[in-house]
């Protein structure tokens, strides 16, 4: 009886990395879910960092020791697919945990789902919140090269004209096309279609 208990403690210790508070230099990310979250020059606006009106905190993910592909996988599997009102992931904003501590904010490292944390301890005044969010935005770096694709496709191949007719939804974003030559399509979309046709 003792062994399972020890094992369970060991496993809980092993799995507790993301239930501890992040160190100053640890990288954290917030996903952009609205086109206005970032400016044309790729800098962040305060919106994505503002605490949710529903829960009073800001949802973020810890991206320490993770490959880029898996960060985008989180954005699609844990963010896009779990909220009916998020239509698209536009990118992500990375920043160091210190940026949060500098604003007298804290992390709730709940690790639910895996790697998730909430930014808490926001002041109650909306303008004070916005001012802190502006400062976090200024310190963050935008990335938009989403490499993780999920898609549904309805495609017909017009043999005589060598054209594809169909509709593909990639990462929740409708990129429908009609009568477009296969070679005109973006490489990642072509790959998605080929995989779909293979299945």
CA distance 184 to 176: 13
By CB atoms closer than 10 A (0-12, 13-18, 19+), residue 99 is buried
φ, ψ at 91 (rounded to 5°): 155, -160
Residues that bind another protein (rule: CB under 8 A) add up to a total of: 29
Is 143 among the residues that bind another protein (CB under 8 A)? no
Q: Which strand (E) or helix (H) includes residue 142?
A: strand 141-143
DSSP conformation letters of 80-123: ITT-TT-----EEEEEEHHHHHHTT-EEE---SSTTEEEEE---
Q: Which of 5, 124, 127, 160 binds another protein (CB under 8 A)?
A: 127
Is 34 among the residues that bind another protein (CB under 8 A)? yes
CA distance 91 to 173: 13
62 close to 28: Cβ distance less than 8 angstroms: yes
Is 54 among the residues that bind another protein (CB under 8 A)? yes
- Of 57-116, binders to another protein (CB under 8 A) are 59, 83-87
| Shortest Å, Cβ 19 to another protein | 23
Is 53 among the residues that bind another protein (CB under 8 A)? yes
Q: Which of 64, 98, 130, 190 binds another protein (CB under 8 A)?
A: 130
* Complex with another protein: residue 142 or 193, whichever CB lies closer: 142
Q: Which of 131, 152, 154, 188 binds another protein (CB under 8 A)?
A: 131
| Shortest Å, Cβ 103 to another protein | 10
Strands 27-32 and 58-62: antiparallel
| Shortest Å, Cβ 138 to another protein | 4
The residue ranges that bind another protein (CB under 8 A) are 33-34, 36, 39, 43-47, 50, 52-55, 59, 83-87, 126-128, 130-131, 134-135, 137-138
């Amino acid at each position: 009886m003792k062994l399972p208990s020890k094992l369970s403690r060991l496993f809980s210790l092993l799995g507790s990395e993301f239930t501890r508070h992040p160190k100053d230099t640890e990288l954290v990310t917030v996903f952009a879910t609205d086109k206005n979250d970032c400016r044309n020059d790729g800098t962040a606006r305060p919106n994505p960092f503002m605490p949710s009106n529903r829960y009073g905190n800001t949802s973020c993910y810890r991206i320490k020791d993770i490959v880029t592909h898996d960060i985008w996988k989180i954005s699609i599997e844990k963010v896009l697919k779990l909220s009916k009102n998020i239509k698209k992931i536009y990118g992500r904003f990375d920043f160091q945990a210190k940026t949060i501590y500098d604003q007298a904010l804290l992390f709730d490292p709940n690790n639910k789902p895996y790697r998730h944390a909430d930014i808490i301890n926001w002041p109650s005044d909306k303008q004070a919140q916005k001012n802190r969010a502006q400062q976090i935005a200024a310190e963050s770096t935008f990335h938009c090269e989403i490499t993780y694709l999920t898609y549904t496709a309805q495609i017909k191949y017009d043999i005589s004209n060598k054209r594809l007719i169909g509709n593909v939804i990639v990462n929740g974003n409708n990129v429908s096309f009609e009568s477009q030559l296969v070679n005109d399509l973006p490489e990642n979309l072509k790959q998605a279609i080929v995989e779909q046709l293979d299945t």
